[in-house]
Amino acid sequence: MQPRLVRLTVWAAVLGLAACKPKEAPAPPRPDPADAAQRAAAAFVHCVEGGNAACIRTGLPHGAFDAFVLLGWLATGSPVAILDALSRELVAHSDPRTVQGRFVREVERLSGPLRGAECSPVGAQELAPMVTQLAQATKARLEAIGMASADMMRVVEGLAAEAAEGLEGAFLVRMSCKREPYQLYLAMVPEGPRYSAIGLMPYLPRFLGGDEAQIDAAQALRSKSLGISGAAAPVPDGTVDRYLPIPMEEF
């Protein structure tokens, strides 16, 4: 056989083997972390419906979300309540066991209302970008009401730094319910390949993308989670009177 013919035969064999080589399967699409957080939030609510406080995992940054909630309170709460309760709230915030215990009690309190409420996740927002926005709104609000002292600004900056560090990669999942409590926001933090709940809040301020306006006054006053008696957070503005934009709070 001539050398040129031999070379052509070899190349044909190589090309034939290459053509027979099976194609590699495409890599599976990466799961959407927001979807994973929403699924975990739904599973957490189902666990809470059973009255099981063991749904709460220990060793997670519960304090980071507590710092986020405190910033929200400073940004929306009544000045009188802030002056009266801020010192106590900061002392409680400094104790991780107190913070986690407060979350456990809130979960136990909501286990009854959540049972049969038919809650399901309807959206998720990344928490880290919200921390910066919330800190800016808090500073602006405190300046507007004449409470922007140097000490108060240090408190805001410290809470914002703690929240930003602990809530990296976390999501705030909105749960919509057909019955009371009607809506709920769950903070879900990544823990390896899964997400775990570290806190909850009954409503989110409008400037952070919340829609508390959907809850009318009569509904809010009847609600165990939003009503005046035993309120876990400020009642939305306008609940008492739309011309009196001062949230009512209890401590």
pLDDT in tens, the chain (251 residues): 555 544 545 445 544 545 555 566 555 556 688 999 999 999 999 998 877 657 888 889 999 999 999 999 999 888 998 999 999 999 999 999 999 999 988 888 888 888 888 999 999 999 999 999 999 999 999 999 999 999 999 999 999 999 999 999 999 999 999 888 888 999 999 998 899 999 998 888 888 887 654 555 454 444 444 433 344 444 444 454 444 455 545 44
Give the gyration radius of the chain's Cα atoms.
26
Q: Is residue 20 part of a domain?
A: no
Question: Which two structure tokens, joined as six digits, stand for 36?
Answer: 């994973």
Distance CA 250, CA 41 (A): 28
What is the count of structural domains for the chain? 1
Q: Is residue 11 part of a domain?
A: no
Let me know if residue 6 belongs to a domain: no
* Any domain includes 250: no
* 177 in any annotated domain: yes
For 205, the domain range is 31-222
pTM of the complete model? 0.74
The Cα–Cα gap between 65 and 167 comes to 7
CA distances (Å), origin 134, targets 32, 71, 95, 157, 195: 25, 7, 23, 11, 23
Residue 249 lies inside a defined structural domain of this protein: no
Confirm whether 16 is domain-assigned: no
The one-character DSSP state at 149 is -
Residue 244 lies in a domain: no
